[in-house]
Structure 1
Amino acid sequence: MTTTGEAPRARPAALRVLLVEDDPADVALVRAALDAHHLDVELEHAPDGVEAMAFLRREGPHAEAARPDLILLDLNMPRMNGRAVLAAVKADAQLKAIPVVMLTTSAMDTDVLTSYSTHANAYVTKPLALDDYERVIAEILQFYGRVAELPPPPAAP
């Protein structure tokens, strides 16, 4: 029981993650990390920001898409980059509570500061070594899947 007398919310069976990544090799690395660490994750993939926003807004072929519990967002992508996606997500009342982890090769101070200023929940630079990459992905997903209390979906309008 919580201090307010309410029972804690039950966690869904699997963590729903939207991976927004244009590099097929990085997508494969994330999938390998899920397999290697036996993580209970439902992974959806969007190859760019335009597709990610269509998924999140349930537009077109994504009309039945489940709301993700977490967004892993690359910074540099064609059509709509991660900065623009982050700004759009955090400006949308229906989406802004979804945690967003920037997952990128950039370690530039300006990218880190801009991401946090636009309300990213975390900024992670992709490790170069395969084992480190898998470990970092596993740690992110274990934190959001097992440790962090995730926000409930917004009430229907």
Structure 2
Amino acid sequence: MTRSPSTDLVSILLVEDNPGDVRLIEEAFKSAEFETTFHTVTDGSAALELLHERAASEDGPELDLMLLDLNLPRTDGFEVLETVKNDPKLTSLPVLVLTSSEATEDIVRSYELCANAYLTKPTDPDEFADIGRAVEAFWIEEATLPPVPS
């Protein structure tokens, strides 16, 4: 889950069910100074399956962070967030909620469930690049992430 400072490859779990938003988010990271690999799933259940497989196997994808939508089919983002933050093998993975909801109760609940950040999706597609730059500037270039628990 942590990235070596000498590695320019960043691995992101993108949990997003809207294909248009997936495309915009992936495009937003193409201008970054690092290479990004997205592991994209379209519902919360698939996200939890991937995370548990990764935690159980050394062969699974190492993840630097998760971008999590809240409004997902099958298992919603709140349940994914709660599961991740309550699992000792997953809890160190930074989770950035990236959703269209501006509802105060969603923001509060996300932080109560230990989201690392809450970002509202821009309404203008061109503004998605700002999200990519913000994530790069803080989570990739500045933040020191904890080691993966054994």
Q: Does 1:131 align with 2:126?
A: yes
**Equivalent residue, structure 2, for 1:6:** none
TM-score, length of structure 2 as denominator length: 0.89
1:91-116 CA distances to partner (integer Å, 9 max, x unpaired)? 10000011100000000000000000
Other structure's SS at 1:147 match: coil
1:50 maps to which of 42, 45, 48: 45
Calculate percent identity across the aligned residue pairs: 37
1:133-157 CA distances to partner (integer Å, 9 max, x unpaired)? 22112211332111100111112xx
Contact 1:18–1:72, Cα closer than 8 Å, also in 2: yes
Q: Distance in 1 between matches of 2:58 and 2:40?
A: 15
TM-score, length of structure 1 as denominator length: 0.85
2:145 maps to which of 147, 150, 157: 150
Q: Which has the higher contact order (CA 8 A, sep 6+)?
A: 2
Q: How far has the Cα of 1:63 moved from its partner? A: 8.0
2:96 maps to which of 95, 101, 106: 101
C-alpha distance 10-39 of structure 1, shift in aligned 2 (>3 A): closer
Contact 1:39–1:138, Cα closer than 8 Å, also in 2: no
Q: How far has the Cα of 1:34 moved from its partner? A: 1.7
- The structure with more radius of gyration: 1
Q: How far has the Cα of 1:38 moved from its partner? A: 4.7
Unpaired runs of at least 5, structure 2: none
Deviation larger for 81-90 or 42-51: 42-51
The ranges of structure 1 where at least 4 consecutive aligned residues each deviate by more than 4 angstroms after the TM superposition are none
Contact 1:20–1:52, Cα closer than 8 Å, also in 2: yes
Q: How does 1:5-154 map to 2 (within 5 A)?
A: 10-11=4-5, 12-58=7-53, 64-154=59-149
Match of 2:136, as an amino acid? L
Q: Distance in 2 between matches of 1:141 and 1:81?
A: 26
Contact 1:104–1:125, Cα closer than 8 Å, also in 2: yes
Q: Distance in 2 between matches of 1:84 and 1:113?
A: 15
Count residues with an aligned counterpart.
Answer: 145
Match of 1:87, as an amino acid? E
Name the Cα RMSD after superposition: 1.8
Q: Distance in 2 between matches of 1:153 and 1:63?
A: 11
